[in-house]
Amino acid sequence: MATAAAKASDSRHRFIEAAVRLFAKHSFAGTSLQMIADEVGVTKSAVHHHFRTREELIIAVIEPLQEQMQAVIEDAKAQRSRRARAERLLAGFVDLVVGHRSLVPLLAGDPGTVEMLRAHAASTDMIECQVRLLADLEPGPGGLIKARVALAGIACGLGPDVGDFDDETLRRHLLEAGRRVLGLRTPRACR
Amino acid sequence: MATAAAKASDSRHRFIEAAVRLFAKHSFAGTSLQMIADEVGVTKSAVHHHFRTREELIIAVIEPLQEQMQAVIEDAKAQRSRRARAERLLAGFVDLVVGHRSLVPLLAGDPGTVEMLRAHAASTDMIECQVRLLADLEPGPGGLIKARVALAGIACGLGPDVGDFDDETLRRHLLEAGRRVLGLRTPRACR
């Protein structure tokens, strides 16, 4: 028999899943707690019981992605050369994007979310860190602009109809695109 | 003395400018006609006189960009080789993005807008056309994925703090990033 805690965790999970579907369709700003309640088939106060505001729900949605990205950054930082750091960051970022196809383009592209995320120092630091690890490959504005083009292109390039490609095809070409922008050679083992 | 028509055109222009500022800050979905009225310092019904819905206003904002993009596509199509077509499209797209720094990332990244734009056949055709002209450079999924990474990276890569770079620096590096993704060489005259 499910305990009360297990039931609560299950509801929470259902709200998060419904939120992800609606965010992908209507953006963060265009999705209300009422819409999430309707999608799950409960009252708005049932959602309120778990998430007091839409912001709380958004944070619950993106927390696992942030943790994964933080691990990628730590791993990249531990590498010895600039190229190895950039390569590790790029590969980890591509894996994250491919693993969360529907959600990542939103995080990168929705200005409402970007603004909200900026309020969380950890998240801003993380994006700064990603950019810096890639921008290191070329001095001056060129490195910075290319780092951003690579990250944004990988994160936002997937339209809703990219679902046609399997994960491996997508991963391979996104990684190649990123490497090209940054002027990284394809490592021998991956050829 | 300003005629009634000139005054109306002037108000219309002021609403569009206020809308662009608010869209950049709060996304399309997060901006209401009331917020636009407040920004200009008029009543909501004054805005209503020019734009019945937020959608009408969004369309008025993006129409000039669409016209510019359509001209770029026509020019690219008229080129003889695949490389020349891709090069022309890329350069025209970069010019458009740099010329509308604050607005373009929204159009590319906001799913609410993307969905609305999809309803306009002309706009969907235009994006398809852009992708196709670039994807032609490499057969299979690789060409398609790289075309999208290039376009999205150029459109979404500009964070709010990219304002630090002058237009020429931005243009040069965005173009180089796009060429690299697509495997285009830098034309001799531009080196």
**Cross-chain residue pair B145–A26, CB shorter than 8 Å:** no
What is the model's pLDDT at position A115? 61
Question: Which residue bears the tokens 């290191």?
Answer: A136
CATH T-level topology, domain A4-52: Arc Repressor Mutant, subunit A (1.10.10)
What is the model's pLDDT at position A89? 97
Give the separation between CA B95 and CA B172, rounded to whole angstroms.
Answer: 10
CATH of B62-184, one of 2.40.50, 1.10.357, 1.20.120, 2.60.40: 1.10.357
Q: At what angle do helices B141-156 and B82-99 cross, to 10 degrees?
A: 20
Residue B114's pLDDT band (cuts 50, 70, 90) = low
Chain B residues inside the 8 Å CB shell of A141: 165, 169-170, 173
**Cross-chain residue pair B153–A158, CB shorter than 8 Å:** no
For B31, the 3-state DSSP assignment is: coil
Statement: the pTM of the whole predicted model exceeds 0.90: no
Q: Where are the domains of chain A?
A: 4-52, 63-190
What is the model's pLDDT at position A185? 82
Q: Which long-range contacts does A30-35 make (Cβ < 8 Å, 24+ apart)?
A: A30/B29, A30/B30, A30/B111, A30/B112, A33/A57
pLDDT, averaged across chain B: 85
What is the model's pLDDT at position B34? 93
Give the lowest-confidence range in B92-106, B108-122, B134-148.
Answer: B108-122
How crowded is residue B147: how many other Cβ atoms within 10 Å of its Cβ? Answer: 27
What average pLDDT does the segment A95-123 reach?
70
pLDDT at position A153 over 60? yes
pLDDT at position A117 over 70? no
**Cross-chain residue pair B177–A181, CB shorter than 8 Å:** yes
Residue B155's pLDDT band (cuts 50, 70, 90) = confident
Chain B residues inside the 8 Å CB shell of A30: 29-30, 111-112
Between A85 and A21, the more confident residue is A85
Give the separation between CA A58 and CA B97, rounded to whole angstroms.
Answer: 29
The answer to whether residue A154 neighbours chain B at the CB level (below 8 Å) is yes
**Cross-chain residue pair A142–B111, CB shorter than 8 Å:** no
pLDDT at position A191 over 50? no
Which string of DSSP letters, residue by residue, matches B86-136?
HHHHHHHHHHHHHHTTTTHHHHHH-HHHHHHHHHSHHHHHHHHHHHHHHHT
Main-chain phi, psi angles of B113, to 5 degrees: -70, -45
Interface residue of B26, B32, B181, B184 to substitute, partner A, most A CBs within 10 Å: B181
Domain at A63-190: CATH architecture: Orthogonal Bundle (1.10)
> Helix/strand/coil (H, E, C) string of B39-72?
HHCCCHHHHHHHCCCHHHHHHHHHHHHHHHHHHH
Residue B191's pLDDT band (cuts 50, 70, 90) = very low
Q: Token pair of B164, please?
A: 């630090």
What average pLDDT does the segment A35-48 reach?
93
With b meaning 16 or more CB within 10 Å and e meaning fewer, what string describes B53-68? ebeebbbbbbeebbeb
Residue A68's pLDDT band (cuts 50, 70, 90) = very high
ipTM: 0.81
